[in-house]
C-alpha cells in the first residue's frame, strides 16, 4: 500500500515537474505569412479595419474599442494602435484582453512578410499553466485562420488598389488640344463644349479624328480647375487661337479602366498615386483620361467607362 502511495506521489511530482519544464512562464504565439505586395501597401489595407469585412473569415461584432470589431469563433479582434507598418490588435479571448502585435517587413521581389504575435503569462499554478497552454493553442489556430485569409486577399493587386492595370504605349501621337478654366469641378456639359470646339476646328481644317476624346482636370490651388481636352487626329494641323497642335511621345503608360462617375475616377487617381509611391515609379507627365463612354448620351454615371493613362518611367 505504501509502495502504491509512493508511486502515485512520484507520478504526481513528475507530472507537475513536466508541466513546469514543458510550459514556460510566458507562452509566445506567432503566426507568419508571406504576401505578394510591399509592406506599405499591405499596411494601408490592413490598417483600414472598417474594410476588414471584405476578407475577414468570421463575422463582424460591434465593439466599444473600434467602429467595427471582428469575431472568429468566440474571440473578438479590434485594432487599437497604428504605427508605420505595425498594428496593435486587442484580442478578447474567453474574457481576457490580450495585446498582440502585427508587423510587416519588406522582402525581395516586391513582397513582404506579416508577423503576428502575442504572449500569455501562464502563472505558478500547474493547472493554470495547462489552461494557458490550451488557450494558446486555440489562439494560434484562430490567428492562423485570420492571417491566411488576409494573405489570400492581399495577394490580389485589385484588392489593394481597387483596379487592375497594364503597361503599354499609345498609338495616338498627333493631337489637337485646348484648355479652359472652371471655378468648380467641370460639368459634363462644360467638358463636351470644349470637345465640340475641337471637333468643329478639325472639320474646318479638313482633318480626321482617329480616336476618342481625352481629358485632364488639374486643381489650381483653391481657385478652381484647369481643364484640358484633346482629340487624336490623323495628321498634324496648324494651330489656331487657343487650339494647339501637339505631339505626344509614345512612351510607357500605366493603363487602367474605371467604371463609374467622377468620385470613382478621383479615387482611382488617388490609388494610382499610392501605387507610384509604393513601387517608387516616376511619373513623366500629367495623367489623362480617355472618355470611352459618351457622357452626354449616357447620363447614368455608374455606366461610364473611362480609361486612365498615367505616363511612367
Q: Is residue 288 part of a domain?
A: yes
* The predicted structure's pLDDT at residue 254: 94
pLDDT digits (tens, 9 = 90+) for 208-220: 999 999 999 999 9
Residue 8 domain-assigned? no
Give the end of a domain, one of 159, 176, 207: 159
Q: Which has the closest alpha carbon to 157: 60, 251, 290, 278? A: 278
Establish if 274 belongs to a structural domain. yes
> Are residues 193 and 277 part of one domain?
yes
Residue 23 pLDDT: 58
Residue 125: which pLDDT band, with cuts at 50, 70 and 90?
confident
Asked if 89 and 142 sit in the same domain, the reply is: yes
Residues 90 and 194 in one domain: no
Residue 186 domain-assigned? Answer: yes
Number of structural domains in the chain: 2
Which CATH number goes with the domain that contains 29?
3.30.530.20
Residue 171 pLDDT = 86
> Is residue 104 assigned to a domain?
yes
**One domain for residues 136 and 80:** yes
pLDDT for res 165: 92
Strands 111-121 and 243-247: unpaired
Is residue 15 in a domain? Answer: no
pLDDT in tens, 99-118: 999 999 999 989 999 999 99
Residue 216 and residue 257 in one domain: yes
Q: Are residues 137 and 201 in the same domain?
A: no
pLDDT-derived band at 69 (thresholds 50, 70, 90) equals confident
Does residue 93 form part of some domain?
yes
What range does the domain containing 75 cover? 25-159
- The pTM assigned to this predicted structure is 0.82
Asked if the model's pLDDT at residue 60 lies above 80, the reply is: no
Does residue 20 belong to any structural domain of this protein? no
Q: Name the burial class of residue 73, with classes exposed (0-12), middle (13-18) and buried (19+) by CB atoms within 10 angstroms of its CB.
A: exposed
Burial of 166 (0-12, 13-18, 19+ CB in 10 A): exposed
| Per-residue pLDDT tens over the stretch 285-299 | 889 999 999 999 999
Amino acid at each position: 500500500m505504501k509502495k502504491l502511495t509512493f508511486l502515485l506521489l512520484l507520478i504526481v511530482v513528475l507530472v507537475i515537474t513536466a508541466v513546469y519544464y514543458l510550459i514556460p512562464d510566458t507562452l509566445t504565439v506567432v503566426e507568419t505569412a508571406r504576401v505578394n505586395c510591399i509592406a506599405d501597401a499591405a499596411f494601408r489595407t490592413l490598417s483600414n479595419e472598417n474594410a476588414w469585412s471584405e476578407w475577414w473569415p468570421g463575422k463582424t461584432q460591434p465593439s466599444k474599442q473600434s467602429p467595427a470589431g471582428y469575431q472568429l469563433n468566440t474571440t473578438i479582434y479590434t485594432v487599437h494602435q497604428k504605427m508605420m507598418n505595425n498594428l496593435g490588435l486587442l484580442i478578447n479571448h474567453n474574457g481576457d484582453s490580450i495585446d498582440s502585435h502585427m508587423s510587416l517587413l519588406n522582402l525581395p521581389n516586391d513582397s513582404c512578410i506579416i508577423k503576428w504575435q502575442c504572449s500569455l503569462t501562464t502563472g505558478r499554478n500547474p493547472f493554470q499553466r495547462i489552461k494557458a497552454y490550451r488557450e494558446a493553442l486555440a489562439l494560434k489556430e484562430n490567428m492562423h485562420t485570420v492571417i491566411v485569409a488576409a494573405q489570400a486577399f492581399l495577394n490580389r493587386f485589385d484588392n489593394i488598389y481597387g483596379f487592375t492595370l497594364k503597361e503599354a504605349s499609345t498609338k495616338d501621337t498627333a493631337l489637337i488640344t485646348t484648355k479652359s478654366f472652371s471655378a468648380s469641378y467641370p460639368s459634363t456639359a462644360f467638358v463636351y463644349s470644349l470637345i465640340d470646339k475641337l471637333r468643329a476646328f478639325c472639320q474646318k481644317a479638313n482633318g480626321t479624328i482617329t480616336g476618342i476624346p481625352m481629358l485632364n482636370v488639374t486643381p489650381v490651388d483653391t481657385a478652381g480647375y484647369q481643364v484640358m481636352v484633346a482629340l487624336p487626329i490623323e495628321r498634324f494641323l496648324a494651330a489656331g487661337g487657343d487650339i494647339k497642335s501637339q505631339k505626344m511621345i509614345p512612351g510607357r503608360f500605366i493603363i487602367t479602366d474605371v467604371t463609374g462617375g467622377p468620385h470613382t475616377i478621383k479615387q482611382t487617381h488617388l490609388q494610382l498615386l499610392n501605387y507610384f509611391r509604393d513601387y517608387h515609379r516616376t511619373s513623366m507627365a500629367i495623367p489623362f483620361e480617355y472618355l470611352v463612354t459618351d457622357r452626354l448620351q449616357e447620363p447614368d454615371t455608374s455606366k461610364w467607362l473611362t480609361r486612365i493613362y498615367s505616363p511612367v518611367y
